[in-house]
Every structure is written in C-alpha cells, then in structure tokens.
C-alpha cells in the first residue's frame, strides 16, 4: 500500500497559511503606523528605553538561525540526514537564545514597572503607554511564533527519524523552513520600528 503525498497541495497550503500570518501582522503594523503618526515624540522617547544592543543581537541570532534552517533543507535534499538534523539543532539552539534574550529584556522592563498597567508606565504620557502596549503585543506575538516554529522543527525531526521525511519527500522540512523565514522577516521589521525610531 502506497501513501498518497500531495506535495503541491502541501506547499500551496503553507503559502496560504503564511499569507494569513502576513495579514495578521500587517494589521498590527498599520495600527503601529497610525499610532506613531499620532504620538511621534512620545514614541521616539519610549524607543530610547529599549536596549538596542539586545535588539541587534537578537536580529543577528534570528537571521543566522534562518540560514541554518535553509541549510537543513539543503542537507536533507542531498541525502545527508545527519547534516540536516545538525542544522536543525543549530536553528533550535539559536531560537532558544532569542527567547532567553527577550526574556531578560522583558523581565527588566516589567521589574521597573514598565508594562501595560504597571505602576511606572501608568504615570507616563498616553503616547508612551501606547508604544509599550504595542511593543509587548507585537513582540509577544512574535515570540509565540518562535515557540511554534521550534515545535514544528521538533515534529519534523521525529519525521526524519521515523523515515517519513526523506531526501525524496522533504516537503515537511521545506514548509518548516518557510515558516521560520517568515518569523525572521517579521522580526526584521519589528527591530527598526521599535529600537531605531529617529
């Protein structure tokens, strides 16, 4: 008995899903733009409270992880399962680094009362409150996508071990890589919008 594999359908389904993700974040980017237009000075002042070094480090970490995700697909296509798994492991390690850095960044702000409803933030101007409300919403949603992406890679890992994701049938890993590239792309937009406001 042969298993039916609809690769074109799987790829098309992933692209449709990615499009819905773009719509989700696109709406948030529009909201950000409108709010920035209303409070340009407050957004600029609030942006200075973010750590550019940590934001830059996370950008490099995520871009590198996206490279490793692409190399894992290439490795599997070439028939080297161990190489593919090695690059997947590197992707997961860097994803963990991203989340750890974001955790310390968030915890520092929260400890200082700079969060929606926090004792410090609530005393600030509405523009700064709006900035951090959007900051936590958008970076938090992005962080959730990072965690989901890690889960997808771990699932693909089990498929490789089970022998159902192979050099001939690698669409699962390819789709995981596409999802990860979108996560990377979203952060590339988030980073300058929040950390580099001039």
pLDDT in tens, 138-152: 999 999 999 999 999
Model pLDDT, residue 5: 63
Per-residue model confidence (pLDDT) at position 198: 62
Q: How far is CA 48 from the centre of its chain?
A: 23
In a domain, 7, yes or no: no
- Express each pLDDT in 71-102 by its tens digit: 999 999 999 999 999 999 999 999 999 999 99
Q: What angle do CA 47, 183, 102 make, to 5 degrees?
A: 45
Rounded Cα–Cα distance for residues 55 and 105 (Å): 9
Specify if 3 maps to a domain: no
What is the pLDDT, as a whole number, of residue 197?
83
Number of structural domains (the chain) is: 1
- According to the model, what pLDDT value does residue 173 have? 97
- Asked whether the beta carbons of 147 and 92 are under 8 A apart, the reply is no
Q: What is the mean pLDDT of the chain?
A: 95
Q: 9 lies in a domain?
A: no
Q: What is the CA radius of gyration of the chain?
A: 19
Contact 59, 75 (CB under 8 A): no
CATH number for the domain harbouring residue 142: 1.20.120.80
**For 10-16, what is the mean pLDDT?**
92
Instruction: Write down how long the chain is.
Output: 198
CA distance 85 to 102: 26
Residue 77, number of CB atoms within 10 A of its CB = 14
Written as one string, the DSSP assignment of 90-122 is: HHHHHHHHHHHHHHHHHHHHHHTT-STT-TTGG
With respect to residue 70, please indicate whether it lies within any of the assigned structural domains: yes
- Would 27 be classed as within a structural domain? no
152 in a structural domain: yes
| Predicted confidence (pLDDT) per residue in 163-179, tens digit | 999 999 899 999 999 99
Residue 1 has pLDDT above 50, yes or no: no
The reply to whether 86 falls in a domain is yes
Q: How confident is the model at residue 2 (pLDDT cuts 50, 70, 90)?
A: very low
In a domain, 145, yes or no: yes
Q: Which domain holds residue 165?
A: 40-195
Which one, of 96, 105, 100, 102, lies nearest residue 68 by Cα? 96
């Amino acid at each position: 008995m042969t298993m039916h594999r609809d690769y074109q359908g799987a790829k098309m389904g992933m692209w449709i899903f990615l499009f819905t993700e773009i719509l989700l974040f696109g709406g948030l980017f529009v909201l950000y733009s409108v709010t920035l237009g209303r409070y340009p000075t407050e957004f600029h002042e609030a942006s200075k409270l973010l750590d550019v070094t940590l934001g830059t480090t996370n950008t490099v970490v995520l871009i590198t992880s996206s490279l490793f995700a692409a190399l894992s697909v290439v490795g599997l296509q070439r028939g080297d399962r161990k190489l593919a798994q090695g690059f997947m492991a590197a992707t997961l390690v860097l994803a963990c680094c991203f989340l750890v850095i974001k955790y310390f960044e968030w915890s520092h702000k929260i400890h200082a009362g700079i969060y929606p409803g926090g004792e410090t933030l609530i005393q600030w101007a509405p523009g700064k409150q709006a900035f951090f409300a959007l900051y936590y919403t958008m970076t938090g949603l992005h962080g959730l996508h990072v965690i989901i992406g890690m889960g997808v890679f771990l699932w693909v890992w089990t498929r490789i071990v089970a022998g159902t994701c192979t050099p001939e049938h690698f669409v699962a890993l390819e789709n995981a890589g596409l999802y990860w590239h979108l996560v990377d792309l979203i952060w590339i937009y988030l980073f300058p919008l929040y950390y580099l406001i001039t």
